[in-house]
Amino acid sequence: MNLHRLVLVLSLFCLSGLASASVLLDRLEASVNASIILRSDITKFKETLKLRAQMDPLFNETTVGTKGESASNSEIVEFLIDEKLIAQEFPVSDAEVEQSINSIQTNNKLDRAGLKSALAEQGFSFEDYFNLIRMSRCKTNLIDRDIRTKVTISDDDVKNFFYNNYSQGAPAAINYHLQLISVSTKSFKTPSAAYDVATSALKQIQGGESFDEVAKRVSDHPSASSGGDLGELTEEQISPEIRGQLKDLAIGKVSALFGGPSSNAYFILKLLDKKSAEGERFEKMKGEIRNHLFASEYQHQLTLWISRQRQNASLHISQDAPK
């Protein structure tokens, strides 16, 4: 198929030379291993942009997907190179594409003629649709076989995103559920001895030991017997020193060691949860947020995968100025 296209391109150049040396019918923009990308591929990309946005599981998180019609030719070429690498690593046969299309037709109660008619009404050909289904299947195979197991989005990730992006500056008060380890300097001969104990406690937590157990063993705070659990507190109930730590602390995470001789203790803090009067809004948005985080992380993992593939690919991009 690629060799046929290359022969066709060369033929077009020859024909154009016979007719008029100033007429360019097509040109080579890039080559990826055994595949080529032509100027006509860029044109086709622009023509099918809206259809691609509906069908590509990773498109909307990409640079080209974000820019849409304002994306430059060079950005589109880079995107098409990535697609070539994916298609070469996870090829999809015509029979598999037909299977996907038949399933879509069944789910939408359409026959092939009805599907073609619906596409034509939007200005797209069945060939465009067929090729985009193939590419969508290639990317889905990449996700299923290489990326999905590397992506996890926890409930804490969803909450953190909500409070960091939708709740900032909101008038609703936030309640914090906290755990605390306190190592008083007064319990030791020197502040440095207390520091060593607190530092060791933090390393144990970072090494995988539960905050609860370390708190019960090390903390001299009244909450030690309950694993350092302070319960839910409003901002007004929390000391300024601890509030300062909460600004950059994500749900489920443990702070660095803070405090010191001037505070008469060293502290370690864990943020278990956040709650606010915006809880109802969060419940409505959490599904949308989770999908957004999954898509963003999939795109991040895809970028890493593409980077590895490019290092081993035979890749050439035309340096000529666009004509």
d(CA 281, CA 51): 32
The pLDDT of residue 34 is above 70:
yes
Half-sphere exposure of 282 (CA within 13 A, CB side): 21
DSSP 14-42: HHHHHH-TT-----EEEEETTEEEEHHHH
* pLDDT, position 169: 55
- Amino acid letter, 266: Y
Please write the tens of the pLDDT for every residue from 238-249.
999 998 898 889
Name the pLDDT band for 16 (thresholds 50, 70, 90): very low
* pLDDT, position 3: 43
Name the pLDDT band for 9 (thresholds 50, 70, 90): very low
Name the pLDDT band for 167 (thresholds 50, 70, 90): low
CB atoms within 10 A of CB 133: 19
The pLDDT of residue 12 is above 70:
no
Helix (H, G, I), strand (E, B) or coil at 227: coil
Q: What percent of the chain has pLDDT over 70?
A: 89
Break the chain into its structural domains and give their ranges: 2-151+293-317, 173-276
The pLDDT of residue 13 is above 70:
no
d(CA 277, CA 273): 14
Span 151-177, average pLDDT: 81
Span 280-291, average pLDDT: 87
Span 150-166, average pLDDT: 88
Question: Could you tell me which residue, 280 or 224, shows the higher pLDDT?
Answer: 224
* pLDDT, position 276: 77
* pLDDT, position 18: 43
**Domain 2-151+293-317: CATH superfamily, name plus number:** Porin chaperone SurA, peptide-binding domain (1.10.4030.10)
d(CA 186, CA 178): 24
The pLDDT of residue 315 is above 80:
yes
Query: Strands across the sheet with 35-38, in order?
Result: 35-38, 28-32, 315-317
Span 146-163, average pLDDT: 90
CA angle 315, 321, 323 (to 5 degrees): 115
2-151+293-317 matches 173-276 in fold: no
Q: Which fold has domain 173-276?
A: Chitinase A; domain 3 (3.10.50)
Please write the tens of the pLDDT for every residue from 50-91.
998 888 877 887 889 889 899 999 999 999 999 999 999 999
Residues in the chain: 323
Span 147-159, average pLDDT: 91
d(CA 143, CA 299): 10
Q: How far is CA 297 from the centre of its chain?
A: 2
Span 311-323, average pLDDT: 76
